[in-house]
Amino acid sequence: MKILMTTLVVLICLIDMISGQACSNFGAGQSVNCNAASACQWTGSASDGQCNCASEVKLDILFGIDTSGSIGRSGFQIQKQFVKGLVDDGVANGTRIGFYMFNTVINRTKELQFWDKTVLGAFAEGMWWSGGWTNTPQLISYGLEHFAATFDAERQQIFLIITDGNPCLPDSQGGCPQTACQYKTQVFQAGVRVVVIGVGDGLNSKYVKCLTQSDSDWIPVSGYSEAAFATILGSLSEVLCPVSKEFKVTEVKASRKSTYSLTDSRLTRFVEVYNSGIDFNVSDIGITGLIEMTRGNGPAVTVTQSQYLVFYDASEAPLGTAMSTPTCHLCEWSQTDNRPCDLSACSTWAGNKAYTGTCFCGNSIYIACRGGGTAATCSQNAALSGSNVYDGCSACEFSSDADQIKDNWDITFSDATMIDTVDYGATGTGSWISVIPGYSLELAWKGFDNDYGTSWIQSCSSFGTPGSDPYAQCEETCVTLGSDCGGTGTCDASTGQCLCDATTGYYPSCQSPGVGCFQCAQTPEVSDCVVVWRKNGTEKYAYYNWTTSAPSVNGGFFLQYFDSSKGGSCPTGVTGGGSDTTCDVTVRAIGAFNKDNAIYSTSADGKGGYARVNNYYASNDTIGGYVYAFEAVCDTSAISTATTCQYYVSQEIPCVVITAAPTLSPTMPPTDPPTPKPSPAPTMSPTYSCPRYWIDNDAICNSNTKDGYTGDRCFCTGKSTRGDTQVCCLLNPDFTTKYDEDRQHKTTEECKMDTQLENGKCRYNDDCEAGSSEGYLLSTGDHSFEVAIDATDSQQCLQTVCWQLKFTETDCNYESSKRRLADSTISDGVIKCDPESTSLAAAGLSIDVTSGCLKIWRGISSSGEIQTDSKNATIDFKVTRLTCEKAEAALAADTSTRRRLAEDCFGNIAIKGELVLVNATSSCQPDCTDGRIYPMRFPVWYNYAAAFVAPPAEEKELPAWLWWLIAALVVFLALLALLVYKYWWKNKATGAALGATQADLDAAVMENEQGFGGDLGNGAVGFNPLATGFNPNAPAGPMNPNAPPHGGGRGGDFVRPVVEPIVFKQEFGPQHGGMR
């Protein structure tokens, strides 16, 4: 027996596990598991077939596909494949499917229709990503319009929205973030089931979750990955391929008839439920509370999708009657489609107030239950004449418990699990109206959350609307009923309407003003309001947060706060008012509010609210204002579509100021993203012809990726700005306007530029630290920054790019040991630093040009090459360090009253700002939107000492390979010099040897040719001393200067011989000279 029980438990668990899976999870070879799963059916062979949804629930599914810039191209591809998988095999049979793509605008791509499966898959595959803002509010508005135009009462309407960001639009369209909660009433009234798939952590639930009817319709996904999307298939299968019961209690009359009527048999108790999900059998449900019915004992009656089921007490027949039934003869009936209540079988009496009989809606199911009597008595009084009226007297019984009365009842429906429960007046469910005895309590619209009292209203008629929608208008008045308006108002005898005081916290519970307002319901009560004053850099704002007792039905909140711009009636020195002054200035007084000033941003559960204001009076640190909840009774059923409304407010609650530590960086909405505004009509792919502009400088974003840097646009690597890179690292840019005045960079770590890091090449290198930097140092010397332009101009265009150096902050404690200098204040003979000053001279800085406009010609030549006037495409300025004397002169300081400052008088001061491309336009494309992209601004700073030691702005570190090349060249030149020297020295030695040899040769030649070794001097006479003893070249003798020596004797002995020297020539042989 134990083995059998164990096997049974395991089998049940296995079936439950299989039933909870999406059909698409069953792959090849799992045909058995597929067919065992609820609403799944295997098609094809067992080995290569497919498991598809086989649910027969009729659905209208409108997909809202987010194509905004924050998703990115790769993320959208994953999202697209996920949607394609859903529509291929995960949607119930007979489903109509539509697609709305949304970013800045709503592209109503495909409206609800039946699809051929092949065509549907091809369409899903062809969806494209365009980028843009996140216009969720308009998506909801357009979706509601389409659901109303295609409404079919037999079909469940589902709005499936896939998005990753908060509703966010340009400042001209409301700014960021926004909320879609203003459409909550319309969504619930229309009965549209909104399912939100929130991807990543960039979407705050408070902006859109208010549109969902239950927590299960808010489906978070961790991020854009196939694995992450696969985790939600089971949750979505319950939505797109429903297999579990989905119905809710929509109307209850809990009072016993005997407590208010002894004659009318049609005023019996009843409970109405509406089935929006799968067909189910009544015998498969159990009921506890106001009605008791054991699961398995109910009548075997099938309730189909979009059908009402009514249980009524058939055992308490009034005096003189033999019946105890409800009636719906006054319910609304359209003879065109027999909706919402089919009274065709009772057409003669439909709408006739004088009719005393009973009419049931032909398209609803009625089950008679006993109410303390016997089953036999119940059956006799049940009026079981209709084909849609069934005897359940032996199965179900209305409670006789004294606690189950009109103002204290509860009821729960379940099968294996709870399906729906309602507990009147339960803690945390808000205010519940006390109906007039004999009247029912019904949901204002069947899409409202029946857990909260604010969703319920009193029926217009004492008969209620059992088996039908609530009345659109009430005709009876509180006068004829003798109503006291629920004890919270008075009945106006002239109009027959309940009058509720707009300032006492009660409002008329009705569909529209002047039409059947029988009760005054209580507005939600507000509590725990706090306000936090924040300052993030240059951004200052106050953040309010509060809670409420219950969600509003058709309203929101009004906020009063102290405004820094006010103060005309305040005492001297007081600005903006405060709780302790006589001029508590508020933005608007009660009565001056309207729906345009209302706050609809509620918390995810609808029981709270928040607001952010930028002009809060910061000096008020006690009470920061007051918040009111309100309900609106308007000329239409939803406040969002109304033109005039009456407002009913709760008691105001003061908002206590608390002090919070400043955040490290401003927290702004994500959302990355816009692109030029696409047309509502679908196109295959957007194109961008307008130019894009950014600052292209290695000091800002180093383009040398081989050294570890990320590229010329840092995190947004690459010069190509088309597609997803044009919005990269921009904070909510508006690409739909010609000039986005406040365009900023994101402040996240990945969007820091290289100049904001100590070592940009370590950004993604785990082996070193990137660190952080003040920004670009304005060192002494010239600075140049090129403006890059990405355009596809086919003609020569003049691009005008304006820039500016903006200084926003002075740091007086850059080096605490240094003296301080400022712009104009002298104290104790020394100029002091003023942190509020942005004077350049105060920091010892002079810049020749701090703003200007570049005129850049750019276009494509006839050969197809892009030509840019690069000479005029650079921002140029020169930084000069001022001496203390020059700074004093510039500041016009009085030097006569203070001592002379040293040269380091600026060392303790740093001035900070940024260089910004403030605007850019193209002469050829004057209608282009603002094309400035990241990096279009970067931080700059200056300190006197730092500027002196820093290298010039445009000096670049030589790469390692260049140093190696230089070293090689040096070695080569040294070797070449050595070789040249050796060659010269060798030639020199050879030349010297040759010279000596030539001299010897010349001497030998001379001697051979003349016979003498040397030549005669001037005036000398050639002679042969061997032939005579007379030397004519000797000095004159003592007797006669011309006489021969030794007294002039033997003068006649002088001989003149003929000498014939023999000369030998190597080439010609001997030569005889002197021959005659």
Averaged pLDDT for residues 263-271: 83
Evaluate whether 135 touches 70 at the Cβ level (below 8 Å).
no
Identify whether the C-beta of residue 553 lies closer than 8 Å to the C-beta of residue 823: no
Q: What is the pLDDT of residue 468?
A: 92
H-type helices in 590-733, by residue range? none
pLDDT, residue 100, reads: 95
Residue spans of beta strands (DSSP E) within 580-652: 608-613, 623-634, 645-649
- The per-residue pLDDT for 161 is 95
Q: Determine the pLDDT at residue 664.
A: 38
- pLDDT for the residue numbered 102: 94
Would you say 396 and 292 are in contact if contact means Cβ atoms under 8 Å apart? yes
Residue 685, CB-side half-sphere exposure with 13 Å CA sphere: 7
In one-letter notation, the amino acid at residue 162 is I
Point out the least confidently predicted range of 46-55, 470-479, 716-725: 716-725
- Averaging pLDDT over each range in 2-11, 283-292, 488-497, 982-991, which range is the top one? 283-292
Tokens read off for 566:
């006010």
Closest by CA to 712, choosing from 726, 722, 724, 700, is: 700
Tell me 550's DSSP state.
S
What average pLDDT does range 999-1016 have in this prediction?
A: 66
Q: 763: which residues sit within 8 A by CB, 6+ positions away?
A: 708, 709, 710, 754, 757, 770
Q: Sort 442 into a burial class: Cβ within 10 Å, 0-12 / 13-18 / 19+.
A: buried
Average pLDDT over residues 922-926: 78
Quick one: pLDDT band at residue 27, thresholds 50, 70, 90? low
DSSP one-letter code for 657: E
Given pLDDT bands bounded at 50, 70 and 90, which one contains residue 154? confident
177 upstream amide cis, omega within 30 of 0? yes
Give the Cβ contact number of residue 21 at 10 Å. 18
Q: Has residue 896 got a pLDDT over 60?
A: no
Distance, in Å, from the CA atom of 1055 to the CA atom of 1038, rounded to the nearest integer, reads 23
pLDDT attached to residue 478? 57
Residue 62, pLDDT above cutoff 80: yes
Residue 677's pLDDT band (cuts 50, 70, 90):
very low
pLDDT of 590-642, one tens digit each? 666 778 878 876 665 666 778 888 777 666 666 777 888 888 887 777 777 78
- DSSP code, position 896: G
pLDDT tens digits, residue range 341-380? 999 988 888 888 778 888 999 999 999 998 877 778 788 8
Q: Are 760 and 767 in contact (CB under 8 A)?
A: no
Angle at 33 between CA 29 and CA 37, to 5 degrees: 140
Q: Residues 798, 855: contact at Cβ < 8 Å?
A: yes
List, for residues 218-248, the tens digit of each pLDDT value.
999 989 988 888 888 877 877 888 777 889 9
CA distances 136 to 64, 391, 577, Å, are 9, 49, 37
The pLDDT, as a whole number, for residue 1000 is 79
Q: What is the mean pLDDT of residues 148-174?
A: 89
Average confidence (pLDDT) over 758-780: 81
Residue 671 reports pLDDT greater than 50: no
Contact 194, 210 (CB under 8 A): no
Evaluate the CA torsion angle 549, 552, 553, 558 in order and state its sign: positive
The CA dihedral of 20, 25, 28, 31, to the nearest 10 degrees, is: 20
Average pLDDT over residues 171-191: 84
Q: What does the pLDDT read at residue 535?
A: 63
CB 454 within 8 A of CB 478: no
Given this model, what pLDDT does residue 871 score? 65
pLDDT of residue 231: 86
Asked whether the predicted pLDDT for residue 500 surpasses 80, the reply is no
Kindly state the average pLDDT of the residues 130-149: 92
Region 691-704 average pLDDT = 85
Confidence (pLDDT) at 419? 92
What lies within 8 Å, CB to CB, of 828 at 6+ separation is none
Confidence band (pLDDT; 50, 70, 90) for 1011?
low
Q: Is 407 in contact with 425 (CB distance < 8 Å)?
A: yes
Residue 830 or 352, more confident: 352
Window from 30-34, 419-423, 452-456, 601-605 with minimum mean pLDDT: 601-605
Does the pLDDT of residue 1059 top 50, yes or no?
A: yes
Residue 583 has what pLDDT?
Answer: 52
Confidence of residue 38 (pLDDT cuts 50, 70, 90): low
Residues in the chain: 1076
Rounded-to-integer distance, Cα 856 and Cα 868, Å: 7
Which pLDDT belongs to residue 7?
38
pLDDT digits (tens, 9 = 90+) for 523-552: 887 877 888 876 655 566 788 888 887 777
In the prediction, which pLDDT does 20 show? 41
Rounded Cα distance, 90 and 26, in Å? 11
| Mean pLDDT on 556-575 | 63
The whole-model pTM stands at 0.51
Q: Is the pLDDT of residue 184 over 90?
A: no
Kindly tell me if the per-residue pLDDT of 795 is higher than 50.
yes
966 or 998, greater pLDDT: 966
DSSP string, 185-228: HHHHHHT-EEEEEEESSS--GGGTGGG-SSGGGEEEE-SSSHHH
- Of all residues in the chain, what percent carry a pLDDT higher than 70? 69
C-alpha 831/C-alpha 818 separation (Å) is: 12
pLDDT of residue 473: 64
Per-residue tokens: 776:
């670009």
Please tell me the predicted confidence (pLDDT) of residue 663. Answer: 40
* Range scoring the smallest mean pLDDT among 205-219, 268-282, 652-666: 652-666
Residue type, 600: Y
Q: Does 827 score more than 60 pLDDT? A: no
**pLDDT at position 160, please?**
94
The overall average pLDDT reported for the chain is: 75
The DSSP string of 701-739 is S---GGGT---TTTTS-SS--SGGGTTTTEES--TTSS-
Looking up tokens 């969703």, which residue turns up?
455
Q: How far apart are CA 270 and CA 249, in angstroms?
A: 11
Q: Which two tokens stand for residue 990?
A: 């050879």
